[in-house]
Structure 1
């Protein structure tokens, strides 16, 4: 397939997948320890996890709630398009496109409520390893499943050590998310793991520093790290895919 057509197809997939995220984002965006939302702001039941965040029982002016479907759709489309441009027609692109919407959803939830839900982080890691395991059976792939597995264990283990050292600064949700990020990065080798890990910490440090400079946070203020872990993995993945 022509690269331009591939990028367009990936963007269309991302736009369609992102359009189904608003309801899940709304239901998952609750503080740690609280149950997932089961009602819209008007008190009516929210059925299912994926789809528009719109209540048919509320008045028209109050029917919409949660995240903007257009924003989630455009964001997911952009992520998928860039992944397609970097990966090309290699079979692992299928894995990246299936995992991308989950990464976008996790980023939204953690930014809003500083929570990385287990129903997302653990399946993300399992899905990454399973999809890459299948990809390894397809000709013309550019990575190694063994390194993906080891990368998952290494990054998850590293984050677990950081969690033990400073539980206030590193949540256990980040540890579980690191398992999936390590698998994705490990597919393209250890240099990609190191690059993605460094990028995540750098982005987090820059964000925290910007908040301190703007006097919106202190040096000891906790920030959601999941979005930066995901962003770093995304940048590392792009570099690894492009260089493969």
Structure 2
């Protein structure tokens, strides 16, 4: 992409996808009796306009019902999704994987929703995770057909099975440390990582535990958690997957350059 116009269109698509992610987040928060309205007003969840970004522009960041400042979460979700759409687009185009973009846009949208839900409600709902298997594999299969790269689809299947099996084994060995929601999400994460490369798969799989360990240490040091406190693991899986997709190749080149001294 040599001009800014296509990226603006991609960002706009990301904002719309983020609005859909907000609907999923609101659904779970209603089901778990965790309303997400502004603490200083009693307005109902959600902006009057279905897209928070547009609603913010129209109402200058204030609630159309009471005039107080709007909740920032819906806007942050949409902007985060838009940013991921742009970053993934630029990266996949550079990897000659343009036909795979719909699969990774879908994953980014679900990933943002799951991150917020897992942090707020400590769960990874089935209505988001389970449909991601057929959706992601259908979109990756379409990409493989366009690219005539069926080994990439085979890698995705191997990655999904391998990471799902690994997380299932961890959950069976230590149920308190690994939830079944994490196990179910692992297959989707493994697929999107391995479709890019096995290097991305390995990096994304390992980084999830590195991110969780660093975050756990920070929480202990700042006394925001105690030893044995359970923290949601889904956000670290998702963050690691996105880093693996975007950064595996440049990080690999940097490592080889460092080892060879060139």
TM-score (norm 2): 0.77
The equivalent residue for 1:197 is: 205
Q: Rg bigger for which structure? A: 2
The equivalent residue for 2:225 is: 217
The equivalent residue for 2:86 is: 81
Distance 1:150 1:175 in 2: 15
**Contact 1:26/1:67 (<8 A) preserved:** no
**Contact 2:16/2:51 (<8 A) preserved:** no
Q: Name the CA shift for 1:214/1:5 in 2 (closer, same or farther; >3 Å).
A: same
The equivalent residue for 1:29 is: 29
**Contact 1:86/1:241 (<8 A) preserved:** no
The equivalent residue for 2:113 is: 105
Of the two structures, which has the highest relative contact order with CA contacts closer than 8 Å and spacing of 6 or more?
Answer: 1
Q: Which runs of 5+ in 2 are unaligned?
A: 56-63, 253-262
1:135-189 CA distances to partner (integer Å, 9 max, x unpaired)? 1110376970011011001000100001011111110000000010011011023
Distance 2:142 2:68 in 1: 42
List aligned pairs for 1:159-198, cutoff 5 A: 159-198=167-206
Distance 2:102 2:141 in 1: 12
Distance 2:67 2:123 in 1: 27
The equivalent residue for 2:162 is: 154
Q: Name the CA shift for 1:240/1:188 in 2 (closer, same or farther; >3 Å).
A: farther
Tell me how many residue pairs correspond in the alignment.
233
Q: Name the CA shift for 1:40/1:175 in 2 (closer, same or farther; >3 Å).
A: closer
Distance 1:235 1:142 in 2: 24
Q: Name the CA shift for 1:64/1:165 in 2 (closer, same or farther; >3 Å).
A: farther
Task: Report the more deviating stretch, 21-30 or 224-233.
Answer: 21-30
Q: Name the CA shift for 1:37/1:212 in 2 (closer, same or farther; >3 Å).
A: closer
1:88-135 CA distances to partner (integer Å, 9 max, x unpaired)? 162112221122111100111001111000011111222111110111
After TM superposition, which residue ranges in structure 1, 4 or more long, deviate above 4 angstroms? Answer: 35-46, 51-54, 62-67, 140-143, 240-243
Distance 1:21 1:64 in 2: 22
Two-structure CA RMSD over aligned residues (Å): 3.2
